[in-house]
Amino acid sequence: MSRERLSDTGRQLLHDFPALAKLRKLDRSNIDNVIALVDNCAAFNREHAEPVALELDERIGRDTDYFDWDLAREAGYHRLFSLVIPEVVGGLAGKYMLTAGYLAFEELCSCCAGIGNMIAATALGISPMITPGGLAYWDTILREIMEGEKTGKPVLMAYAITEPSAGTDVEEPDFLARARINMEAKKVKGGYLLNGRKVFISGGREAKYLTVCAATERDRPLDTWSLFMVEREREGVSVPRVERKMGQRACHAAELLFEDVFIPDANLLGQEGDGMATGILSIMSASRGAVGGVGSGIARGAFRHFLAWAREAKNGRKPIGEQRIQMALADMQSAVQQSRGLCLSHGLAGDEVFGALMINPLVKGLFSLPRAVRLSRPYRSFLHSSAGRVFTGQMLRVLVDEDELTHILSLASLAKFSATDKAVWVASRALELMGTDDSVHRRWVEKNFRDAKLTQIYEGTNQLNRLTHYLIELAGTLKVELPRPLERVGRD
């Protein structure tokens, strides 16, 4: 794919990101795959999202329960639910998985962040399964998701962390140690009983599978925070309500109720007590950069519609002819490009860890075995066993450097709070200058503003993300410490 043969989207991408253009000269095949993925997202926006986004937002504003399954099917046909599924099992996540994921979600959200978040919610639900503790599900649930894309039967996932009395608390170790935890996963013979509530779960009502964080002892949440795979149709799981939202309406936020939900031992991802390291901090070190991409995408959309508005004549004059509008456009574009630069820096740094995992010979070797072997009872029983969890946990420690992972978490938090704050500012500034104009461009920017506000809250509030960045980079008191399974076995 030469520069001359690149799509308009691809040429613009290389124009906006000189570092990406330089990297393409060194690794053309892999960067062209990233560009093709972004092209695919742009095509989905053009063909499916943009024609319905405003109407869909307004419809769900009236009817909170409505969900557009036709749009989800089209997202599946474009393979958008495979963005974070490893290439070794047929997904799209390879060497530049974080960079590609960031650029994909930015592109999707430059049209509609609600539709983008409908896709991102499944990506976030999948994320804990990509850790070694989730290897047993790569050939089952992840393949089911990919098969659903082909057949027009979307298999969605969600990630359930937030509780009614513990939101931000559960995403930082010192806060979690003092948090008022409501939900508990009590150990019983053969598994666990889950009781409690999770709230504001993106995509929680439509998800077939949930990855759920819960303490096995509520009075010791930090030491016992654990991660489980839960089928939403299990007896005792219900959805009491779907929230009425101001923004990102195309993706529901649901309350989930767990009443004596039995979860077999095999559904524990990793080991008990590993949840803060592998279920929160490791995941957030990847996903917060993507949320920054949601923010930069929203800001791009607001800028695009404001620019189009400024170029249209109003009472015989075009606003873009005024220097105050010209300077405002420059400020907005500056904010957008600052956000994109931070997000790309996070993506490229993160690919040194997460992307490297996807192409590591050990991981590829595990999946070079015939699929019949990988699906056999002995193989799967081993992965679900205590010995298997020790093996995969130790593999994570061998392949991932804690200092690198901690630095990536800092970059992710920086990109998240900076890009999402700028998204709110860009949309707000545009609305201020557009005044009471009732054009379609103003309707888009008003929606951008509502969509942007939510990004300051989820994936850790921006206040928490500022603290995380400070604690890592300036105080030096926060570090991602991966589980030490062999030491635990020795203690037991």
pLDDT above 80: residue 492 = no
HSE toward the beta carbon, residue 46, CA cutoff 13 A: 7
Are the C-beta atoms of residues 207 and 232 closer than 8 Å to each other?
yes
Cα torsion 92, 96, 100, 102 to 10°: value is 130
CATH topology of domain 8-156: Butyryl-Coa Dehydrogenase, subunit A; domain 1 (1.10.540)
Distance CA(168)–CA(455), nearest Å, equals 14
Confidence of residue 490 (pLDDT cuts 50, 70, 90): very low
pLDDT above 80: residue 345 = yes
pLDDT of amino acid 467: 96
pLDDT above 70: residue 4 = no
Domain ranges, ordered by start, for the chain? 8-156, 158-273, 276-491
Amino acid letter at 469? H
pLDDT of amino acid 366: 84
Min mean pLDDT across 161-165, 254-258, 321-325, 364-368 is at 364-368
pLDDT of amino acid 491: 46
Superfamily assignment of 276-491 in CATH? Butyryl-CoA Dehydrogenase, subunit A, domain 3 (1.20.140.10)
pLDDT above 60: residue 222 = yes
- Two structure tokens written together for 141: 């649930």
Distance CA(253)–CA(262), nearest Å, equals 24
Number of helices (H) and strands (E), helices first, in the chain? 21, 8
Superfamily assignment of 158-273 in CATH? Butyryl-CoA Dehydrogenase, subunit A, domain 2 (2.40.110.10)
Tell me if 8-156 shares its fold with 158-273. Answer: no
**Residues paired with 227 in a beta bridge:** 213, 269
Strand 191-202 versus strand 209-215 pairing type: unpaired
Q: What is the DSSP letter of 254?
A: E
Distance CA(135)–CA(85), nearest Å, equals 12
pLDDT above 90: residue 387 = no
Averaged pLDDT for residues 429-443: 94
Are the C-beta atoms of residues 250 and 115 closer than 8 Å to each other?
yes
Averaged pLDDT for residues 93-121: 97
Angle between helices 440-455 and 53-62 (to 10 degrees): 60
Are the C-beta atoms of residues 90 and 346 closer than 8 Å to each other?
no
pLDDT above 70: residue 447 = yes
pLDDT of amino acid 49: 98
pLDDT (tens digit, 9 = 90+) per residue, 278-322?
888 999 999 999 999 999 999 999 999 999 999 998 888 999 999
Are the C-beta atoms of residues 111 and 150 closer than 8 Å to each other?
no
Q: Sign of dihedral through CA atoms 335, 337, 340, 342? A: negative
pLDDT above 70: residue 488 = no
pLDDT of amino acid 193: 98
Min mean pLDDT across 26-35, 52-61, 83-92, 367-376 is at 367-376
Distance CA(450)–CA(97), nearest Å, equals 29
Averaged pLDDT for residues 94-112: 97
pLDDT of amino acid 437: 87
Helix (H) or strand (E) holding 429: helix 402-434
pTM: 0.95
- DSSP class per residue in 90-158: T-SB-TTHHHHHHHHHHHHHTT-HHHHHHHHHHHHHHHHHHSGGGGGGTTTHHHHHHHHHHHT----EE
Distance CA(90)–CA(82), nearest Å, equals 8
Instruction: Please provide the average confidence, as pLDDT, over all residues in the chain.
Output: 93
Averaged pLDDT for residues 407-428: 98
Query: CA nearest 201: which of 236, 156, 251?
Result: 251
pLDDT (tens digit, 9 = 90+) per residue, 13-32?
999 999 999 999 999 999 99
Averaged pLDDT for residues 405-413: 96
